[in-house]
A = this chain, B = another copy of it.
Amino acid sequence: MAARELRIGMVGYKFMGKAHSHAYRDLPFFFNTGVTPVMTAIAGRDEAGVRAAAEQFGFASYETDWRRLVERDDIDVVDIVTPNNTHAEIAIAAAKAGKHIICEKPLALTVDQAKQMRDAVNEAGVRAIVCHNYRFSPAIQYAKQLISSGKLGRIYHVRAQYLQDWIMDPEFPLVWRLRKEVTGSGALGDIGAHIIDLARFLVGEITDLTATMETFIKERPLGEMSGGLNAKKDATATGIVDVDDAAAWLAHFDQGALGVFEATRFAAGNRNGNRIEVNGEKGSICWDLENMNNLQVYLADDAPGLQGFRTINCTEEQHPFAGAYWPAGHIIGYEHTFINLFATFFQSIVGETECKPDFEDGLRNERVLEAIAQSSERGQWVKVSQV
């Protein structure tokens, strides 16, 4: 049976544009989802830039106005990889145009925006996913299975950190990820959103929290606004950093667990240290993105004397998604989290089944982000439901 084609229109073309584009191209090789993604169009304001991106990534055409892309009849899915302040407008327009939507995280700048996005998607009856790609790591998916099946019992603790160090140099310039009007928040929305998603996925909803946020370097040289890791500074002027360098929060979960979270770009030596530990009455799991194929598992019912954390290389057929790739012991990497996410999403479109994390998840994540910001500002515990 011929695979159904899904024609992708991508808005934006930086780091995430590269990651998504690669996944579209590589997906059909590994997964027989019944869907063939067709890289139809890409949109960006700078014509030279978007034309080059179209060629580099393999899109058949380009637009310099995202509104035109959204309106095109030959687009089935709109993929939003732009800075955070543009997600809502694009997604709502795409939903109204009847397109399925893939949106980078965090879903929006505010809870209100996120709510409008969720409502737009629901009204339009289109499918939408937020790119919390790390929950699609085989190790995390397997951890989820262990927890859902009761293998760890009642969960007592969630302990998650997302530690990076790429802006520790005070001379690193004020790129868009450091400007509130564009990004909403700093480490919080960028990487904190990821550990919120992992915790929600693995354990459940956060009910209330107390938080603090820090900006260690309060002024930075201006420079390439759009720059990433290696952005160049502009020698002559500086600007105020109005987003957080680090955020930390304590949280209660609806099912009774205690959460301790930290997201920072100032943890020297941690390039991409996304780590989560979950402790339950019957066992525990630990995971670290930098060695993402491994899951540490402790089972309290192991024989006395033989109890200890196991290092499981989640590359075996029992591990979700792993069977699509290589034999046991042949690891996969960062990019495969996107392939797994898209494969799941496309199957949900074809199968007309639910697909998580959807915009409701994105909204709930946003509520937690907002609760953290409010708690940090007010110095009080905040109920997530009241945000």
Considering only residues 312-362 of chain A, those with a C-beta below 8 Å from chain B are: 312-313, 315-319, 325-336
In the complex, what residues of B have CB within 8 A of residue A292's CB?
331
The answer to whether B281 and A168 touch across the interface, beta carbons within 8 angstroms, is yes
In the complex, what residues of B have CB within 8 A of residue A280's CB?
268
Judge whether A180 is part of the interface by a CB distance below 8 angstroms.
Answer: no
Q: A291-B294, A297-B306 are in contact. List 14 more A-B contacts (CB 8 A).
A: A15-B327, A29-B57, A164-B329, A165-B279, A248-B250, A268-B279, A269-B279, A270-B279, A290-B293, A290-B313, A304-B317, A306-B312, A308-B310, A309-B310
- Closest Cβ–Cβ distance, residue A196 to chain B (whole Å): 15
* Bound form: Cα–Cα A309–B279 in Å: 19
Q: Mark A265-276, 1 if CB is under 8 A from B, else 0.
A: 011111111000
The answer to whether B19 and A25 touch across the interface, beta carbons within 8 angstroms, is no
Which chain B residue has the least Cβ–Cβ distance from A268?
B284
The answer to whether B330 and A156 touch across the interface, beta carbons within 8 angstroms, is no
In the complex, what residues of B have CB within 8 A of residue A326's CB?
19, 333-335
Interface stretch among A117-125, A210-218, A233-241, A363-371?
Answer: A210-218
* Bound form: Cα–Cα A134–B333 in Å: 16
A residues near B (Cβ < 8 Å) are 15, 19, 21-22, 25-26, 29-30, 57-58, 142, 152, 156-157, 159, 161, 163-166, 168, 210-212, 214, 216, 228-230, 245-246, 248-250, 252, 256, 258, 260, 262, 264, 266-273, 277, 279-284, 289-294, 297-300, 302, 304-313, 315-319, 325-336, 379-381
The answer to whether B309 and A246 touch across the interface, beta carbons within 8 angstroms, is no
In the complex, what residues of B have CB within 8 A of residue A313's CB?
271, 290, 308
In the complex, what residues of B have CB within 8 A of residue A282's CB?
268
Supposing A249-B250, A250-B249, A316-B305 touch, asked if A329 and B269 sit within 8 A by C-beta, the answer is no
State the copy count for this chain. 4
The answer to whether A311 and B309 touch across the interface, beta carbons within 8 angstroms, is yes
**Which of A168, A270, A331 has the most chain B CB atoms closer than 10 A to its own CB?**
A331
The answer to whether B250 and A268 touch across the interface, beta carbons within 8 angstroms, is no
* Bound form: Cα–Cα A279–B187 in Å: 16
The answer to whether A161 and B159 touch across the interface, beta carbons within 8 angstroms, is yes
The answer to whether B156 and A228 touch across the interface, beta carbons within 8 angstroms, is no
* Bound form: Cα–Cα A168–B307 in Å: 15
In the complex, what residues of B have CB within 8 A of residue A331's CB?
290-292, 331, 333-334
The answer to whether B264 and A157 touch across the interface, beta carbons within 8 angstroms, is yes
The answer to whether A212 and B284 touch across the interface, beta carbons within 8 angstroms, is no
* Bound form: Cα–Cα A166–B271 in Å: 34
In the complex, what residues of B have CB within 8 A of residue A210's CB?
210, 212, 250, 379, 381
In the complex, what residues of B have CB within 8 A of residue A381's CB?
210, 379
* Bound form: Cα–Cα A292–B294 in Å: 12
The answer to whether A281 and B268 touch across the interface, beta carbons within 8 angstroms, is yes
- Closest Cβ–Cβ distance, residue A274 to chain B (whole Å): 9
* Bound form: Cα–Cα A305–B319 in Å: 6
The answer to whether A328 and B156 touch across the interface, beta carbons within 8 angstroms, is no
Which chain B residue has the least Cβ–Cβ distance from A335?
B326
The answer to whether B29 and A267 touch across the interface, beta carbons within 8 angstroms, is no
- Closest Cβ–Cβ distance, residue A214 to chain B (whole Å): 5
Supposing A26-B25, A29-B25, A306-B312 touch, asked if A260 and B281 sit within 8 A by C-beta, the answer is no
In the complex, what residues of B have CB within 8 A of residue A22's CB?
26, 29-30
The answer to whether B312 and A307 touch across the interface, beta carbons within 8 angstroms, is yes
